[in-house]
Amino acid sequence: MSKMIFVNLPVTDLKRSKAFYEAIGAANNPAFSDDTAACMVISETIYAMLLTHDKWRQFTSKPIVDAHKNAQVLLCLSAESRDEVSSQVDKASAAGGKADPTPVQDYGVMFGRSFEDPDGHIWEVMWMDPNAVPHG
C-alpha cells in the first residue's frame, strides 16, 4: 500500500475553506467531515484536513500561527505540465486565494508557481520534465 499524507490545516471559516478547496479540484469526503472538520481529497494518497481552531486545539496546545504573517510549512504538489501549474494557480486565485505569494520558479526543465488559501497556507505547484530526471 502506498503511504498517504493527511495535511492538517487550521482554518478560520470551515465553509469558506471547504468551498475554496472544492474550487481547486479537491473533493470532500463526508465520512470524515462534520461541522468542525472537512476531509478534502486531493489525490488517492493526499488529503487536506481542514480543522476549525477549536478542533485544532484538541490535537496540540501550541498556538495557531497566523499564516498570513508567519510561515511554518510550504506544501508542494506535482503537476503533469507547465500549463497545469498555471491552471491550478489561476483556479486558486479565482476562488479567493492569492496567486504567487512566493517567486515563480522557471528553470526550463522545472516550473513552479504557488498560491495561498484563504487562511494564508502556501501551496506550491511544480512541474518537472520527466526526461530531465536522472534514471539510475
* pLDDT, tens digit, 9 for 90 and up, residues 20-34: 999 999 999 999 999
The residue type found at 6 is F
Q: What is the mean pLDDT of residues 91-100?
A: 98
Write the DSSP string, 49-111: EEEEHHHHTTT--SPPP-TTT--S-EEEEE-SSHHHHHHHHHHHHHTT-EE-SS--EE-SSEE
CATH for the 65-136 domain, from 3.10.180.10, 3.40.190.10, 3.90.420.10, 3.30.70.270: 3.10.180.10
Tell me the pLDDT tens digit for each residue of 116-136: 999 999 999 999 998 887 776
Average pLDDT over residues 46-64: 97
Q: What is the pTM of this model?
A: 0.92
115-to-31, 121, 124 alpha-carbon distances in Å: 28, 8, 6
Nearest to 43 by CA among 67, 97, 7: 7
| Percentage of the chain lying above the pLDDT 70 cut | 99
CATH topology of domain 1-63: 2,3-Dihydroxybiphenyl 1,2-Dioxygenase; domain 1 (3.10.180)
**Contact 48/40 with Cβ under 8 angstroms?**
yes
